[in-house]
Amino acid sequence: MAKLNDFDARGFRDALSSFATGVTIVTATDHEGQSVGMTASSFNSVSTEPPLVLWSVTKTARSAPAFKKAEYFSIHVLASDQTDLSNKFAKSGADKFAHTVFSMNENNVPILEGCAARFDCKTWSVYEGGDHWIIVGEVKSIDTETKEGLVFGGGSYAIAAPLTTLSKSDAVDHDAEGLVEDMFFYHLSRAYHRMSNEFHDAVRDSGLTVAQWRILASLHGQSTLALSTLAEQTFLDPKSLEDILGFLQEDGLCVVSGEADSRIARGTKSGHERVVHLFDLAREQESAALEGSSSEQKNATRDTLKRISIAQ
């Protein structure tokens, strides 16, 4: 283990990244009335009475002066289906609010939709912390949704799952372990995590987010797809879907057309080309995972999974 005086900046960052956090987007309005927002994982609780929370903003961020002066701000805890929104708000200076669904609250703070929770704050104090400003806010109101929070750790996005569904060796209650061992869903969940972790790494290495891959994969081999069907197939809520389609369209990877309820999307040639190798990789991984299973076993497993996934 590295001693305190051995570490360099890189080692310091790596060590910090072993501490998994949630992901938030903090928003406010600057003195010219422009909306500002940035992705931040430095959010933390401070006090219950009065209710205080904090986050820290790097002094070099474009929006740092606005946050330092803002009287009000809101902290949005992102849900696990909001990685694209997180990436959008982590880009410096970009027009983060274009194609983003938001409204203004009574304190003129932009409020984003589809988040797991929100803390509306009044600035309590701002402290200098090295190259960051530490901003403490008094929570004036909150909003919560029953959505799974997004996690960030080791440089990647993740979802939080109960330990027992991920690692049998960590189970301490042997009776419970015996019980889960018999459960189909326990194995389904472990199999999903094992296969998707590896595959999603490859997706990210190819420069796509998992949500973008799901959209392009659904459009692959289809002439067009209704946005309602696409939302179902990609597990995205309609607003996040519109958001991500906006980006994909800007990059020439898909085309969206039509009005209101009859909006449709289609993949472009570049969109299809972008995912072909991922399909090949998925097939390779599938073959490796099912190696040793007979055709009957594979067919029976596929049929069971299909039946479960289309059951209401």
Ligand X SMILES: Cc1cc2nc3c(=O)[nH]c(=O)nc-3n(C[C@H](O)[C@H](O)[C@H](O)COP(=O)(O)O)c2cc1C
- Residues within the interface to ligand X (CB under 6 A): 23, 38-42, 55-58, 61-63, 86, 90-93, 152
Of 13 and 122, the one with the shorter C-beta distance to ligand X is: 13
Residue 165 and residue 193: Cα distance in Å, rounded? 9
Burial class of residue 110 (count of CB atoms within 10 Å of its CB; 0-12, 13-18, 19+): buried
Minimum distance of ligand X from residue 57's CB (angstroms): 4
Answer whether 219's CB lies under 8 Å from 271's CB.
yes
Bridge partners of 77, per DSSP, are 24, 117
Residue 144 and residue 166: Cα distance in Å, rounded? 26
Minimum distance of ligand X from residue 55's CB (angstroms): 6
Minimum distance of ligand X from residue 23's CB (angstroms): 5
Minimum distance of ligand X from residue 39's CB (angstroms): 4
Of 34 and 262, the one with the shorter C-beta distance to ligand X is: 34
Four-residue CA torsion sign, 246, 230, 218, 272 = negative
Minimum distance of ligand X from residue 265's CB (angstroms): 27
Minimum distance of ligand X from residue 261's CB (angstroms): 34
Four-residue CA torsion sign, 86, 44, 116, 305 = positive
Residue 119 and residue 140: Cα distance in Å, rounded? 8
Of 190 and 200, the one with the shorter C-beta distance to ligand X is: 200
The 10 Å Cβ neighbour count of residue 189 is 17
Minimum distance of ligand X from residue 60's CB (angstroms): 8
Of 35 and 56, the one with the shorter C-beta distance to ligand X is: 56
Q: Tell me the C-alpha to C-alpha distance, in Å, between residue 206 and each of 177, 213, 274, 276.
A: 38, 10, 8, 11
How big is the chain, counted in residues?
Answer: 312
Of 41 and 82, the one with the shorter C-beta distance to ligand X is: 41
Of 126 and 226, the one with the shorter C-beta distance to ligand X is: 126
Measured in degrees and rounded to the nearest 5, phi and psi for residue 93 equal: 70, -15
Which of 203, 57, 221, 52 shows the shortest CA–CA distance to 122? 52
Of 123 and 233, the one with the shorter C-beta distance to ligand X is: 123
